[in-house]
Structure 1
Amino acid sequence: MKKLLTIAVAAAIAAPMAASADTTIYGRLNQNLVHEDNGTNTEWDVEQNASRFGVKGDEDLGNGLKAIFQYEWSVDSANAGTFGGRLAYAGLTGGFGTVAIGRQWTPYYGSVDKTDINQVNGMNDTYIGTVRVGKALAYVSPNFNGFSAKVALVIDDAGALDLGDDFSDITNVSLDYANGPLSVGVSYLAFNGAAAANDGNQWGIGAKYNFGNFAVIAQYEDADLEAYNTLNGAAETADVDEFAIAGEAYFGNNTVRIKYGEVDKAADVEHWSLGVQHNFSKRTMVFAEYENNDTQGVADDDRFGIGLRHDF
């Protein structure tokens, strides 16, 4: 009976989409077995990292214009538990670029956080920016010989991101260059708070360069006190900045990664990690990773994880 019910639910989801050949159902399961020693507790746990389920597609409107959409949920795949919101937007794309409205990836994340390369949960510890944001109106320019620009406005009234501005509570602009082995991005976030405690700015830059079987990656971020606390719900007492450098080596279907980074704040954080990954195919991989976090005034936090990821 359970199997029949599962088939019936899948059919109910897929049937309306069959009318549109440009709609895709996709997802990811990333399951991790993790050992952590934080100086107080030492334990094993089954975790997941960014597992998700989604639908996306487009409709040809003619004259080079398309409607696009994406709806994506986070999935607690370690417990087969609750769904959470990741992406939900609709937009138009054509020769002018792309305009979208809803919950989206921030331009800042795509341009700056290039050292987000680990597969085990919780190993992107130096990044101080934002990843996705709701109530956003965004524009992405066409590509001009490798250059592209992105603009996003967060427009919130009485919500969690309402900073008191009549129009745009947060403004995010990015400029990217990607050509051959080099990709570089720079981004700026302005927090337009009516009160001084919610006013401020943050900027970052990230770059990756591939040469032969190797790649080097680096990023740097700087946030003033008000911007950092608004974005992270924190209570820091001084401006915050971070940097991270990483390297990857590719040997056939295998990748070796190493990363080092620091966060300069009231309690400084020093982070390094090492990992290896094997791709069985374009959709299935196994991996093992280790990281050490040294936070000023706190015992070191060591994490080791092995995992399996499948994309569909």
Structure 2
Amino acid sequence: MKNSKIFFRTSMIAAALALATSQGYAAEQPLSDQVEALNQRIAQLEAQAAPSQFKNSQVSLYGSIRPTLIYSDADTGNSWDVGDAISQVGIKGSTEFADGWQAIVKAEWAVDVANSGNFGKGRQTYVAIASPYGQLAIGKQRPAQYSLIAEYVDIFNNAHSPFAYDREGAFFVDNFVTYKLETGSFTWMAGAQFNGDKGDTGADLVNIGVGYDTSALHLGLSYLTQDNLENGQVNGDNQTLGGVVAYTFDNGLYLAASYQDKQYNFDNQIQHGDRSGSTLDTALAYPLSNGYKIKLGYFQFKDGIEDISSLDYDGFNTTLEWNPLSNVRVHLEYLNKNYDNLGDDSAIAVGFRYDFNLNWKG
């Protein structure tokens, strides 16, 4: 900001000098009078300049880079691969334009660390108005189903965590309008997707939820309904009811469990017809000495299909983490996934994570 002011004033001096020369002041006035005239002209130009848009604002540039090296052992063969645990870069800004009222913008993209290093698809891109009466936002955002339910079991250094929720859960929703209100210990969220290019002319997805938080406890409940699309036409809907409980003990032990019941409803019967599935994700984290932490998880996915085409699976993972700094993480993970009708998979991964967050305030 200081450099920009210096540049602005230098530009004003140059402009004023040019004006003074063009009007013949340099030849007719003493030097002291010329300097005074220049200062007056600079003051006039500064007064006419547009006010800074950074007033009452703050901006943050943040990111998290998370490469991994993975050894996979599957029935189809063994392999080594460089992976990515969802690296991301984003920018967020806010401006207070009245007491308790803020305009907010956020844009966040995945970073393809495992391959070309390019920016990947957008994760969150929205504009919001926050007020004492809640926050209204439009754009690509997290749904209540993730923010109030899945986030509390999403503690592992893996792109597929939570491992059961990941199969069909909603992480980001585009064309999304959301409302969020915090009242005491409760957080109320509601959202609807409006994508005129798909489905019918109304909402394609509706998600509502409520969370309850104390210093150690989180409880969450959420309901989501989404259209089934078949060849661009609506064919019934999916309805998901989810819940989570998470608790942090005085010794640092963290326990969480999330469950979803999912109903698949079809207007025109397809191969497997109406069915009922579920997801279960559990998580445990316990801090050890010298910045080390142990994490454990068990997961189970059921799609409700009763024949050999079912993709039902369960499994577990265990992770040892080392945090030499608050924004630096090194981890070693073992993951095992057992399918009912497919070959089992297991993987060992070592990974790094570096977070940064740069803030400016006006």
Q: Does the CA-based 8 Å contact 2:163-2:281 persist in structure 1?
A: no
Q: Does the CA-based 8 Å contact 2:199-2:234 persist in structure 1?
A: no
User: 1:193 & 1:40 partners in 2: Cα distance?
Assistant: 33
Q: Relative to structure 2, which stretch is displaced further, 287-296 or 187-196? A: 187-196
Partner of 1:182: 217
Q: Does 1:217 align with 2:217?
A: no
Partner of 2:4: none
User: 2:130 & 2:119 partners in 1: Cα distance?
Assistant: 33
Deviation at 1:216, TM superposition (A): 1.0
User: 2:136 & 2:105 partners in 1: Cα distance?
Assistant: 11
CA gap 1:294/1:153 in 2 versus in 1, 3 angstroms = same
User: 1:124 & 1:205 partners in 2: Cα distance?
Assistant: 14
Q: Does 1:281 align with 2:325?
A: yes
**1:262-273 matches, cutoff 5 A:** 262-265=300-303, 266=305, 267=310, 268-273=312-317
SS of 2:71's equivalent? Answer: strand
Deviation at 1:307, TM superposition (A): 0.5
Partner of 1:137: 177
SS of 2:297's equivalent? Answer: strand
Q: Does 1:51 align with 2:87?
A: yes
SS of 2:235's equivalent? Answer: helix
Q: Does 1:119 align with 2:157?
A: yes
**1:292-303 matches, cutoff 5 A:** 292-303=336-347
User: 2:128 & 2:344 partners in 1: Cα distance?
Assistant: 45
The superposition leaves residues 112-159 of structure 1 with CA deviations (integer Å, 9 ceiling, x where unpaired) of 1122111033343210320100101100002x221110000101101x
**Which runs of 5 or more residues in structure 1 are unaligned?**
1-16, 228-233
CA gap 1:235/1:209 in 2 versus in 1, 3 angstroms = farther
Partner of 1:256: 294
Q: Does 1:102 align with 2:139?
A: yes
Q: Does 1:67 align with 2:111?
A: no
**1:140-159 matches, cutoff 5 A:** 140-142=180-182, 144-158=183-197
SS of 1:191's equivalent? Answer: strand
Partner of 1:290: 334
- In the alignment, residue 170 of structure 2 is paired with which amino acid? T
Q: Does the CA-based 8 Å contact 2:227-2:234 persist in structure 1?
A: no
User: 1:290 & 1:302 partners in 2: Cα distance?
Assistant: 7
- In the alignment, residue 201 of structure 1 is paired with which amino acid? Q
Partner of 1:308: 352
User: 2:272 & 2:142 partners in 1: Cα distance?
Assistant: 26
Q: How many residues align?
A: 285
- Calculate the TM-score normalised by the size of structure 2: 0.74
SS of 1:157's equivalent? Answer: coil
User: 2:336 & 2:72 partners in 1: Cα distance?
Assistant: 10
- Calculate the TM-score normalised by the size of structure 1: 0.86
Deviation at 1:193, TM superposition (A): 6.3
Partner of 1:241: 278
Q: Relative to structure 2, which stretch is displaced further, 125-134 or 74-83? A: 74-83
Q: Does the CA-based 8 Å contact 1:255-1:276 persist in structure 2?
A: yes
CA gap 1:274/1:22 in 2 versus in 1, 3 angstroms = same
- The structure whose Rg is larger is 2
Structure 1 stretches of 4+ with a deviation exceeding 6 A read 193-196
Deviation at 1:198, TM superposition (A): 3.5
User: 2:294 & 2:78 partners in 1: Cα distance?
Assistant: 27
Q: Does the CA-based 8 Å contact 2:337-2:345 persist in structure 1?
A: yes
**Which runs of 5 or more residues in structure 2 are unaligned?**
1-51, 357-362
User: 2:351 & 2:132 partners in 1: Cα distance?
Assistant: 42
CA gap 1:193/1:36 in 2 versus in 1, 3 angstroms = closer
User: 2:158 & 2:227 partners in 1: Cα distance?
Assistant: 35
Among residues 47, 64, 72, which one is paired with 1:28 in the alignment? 64
CA gap 1:63/1:157 in 2 versus in 1, 3 angstroms = same
User: 1:37 & 1:122 partners in 2: Cα distance?
Assistant: 17
Q: Does 1:168 align with 2:203?
A: yes
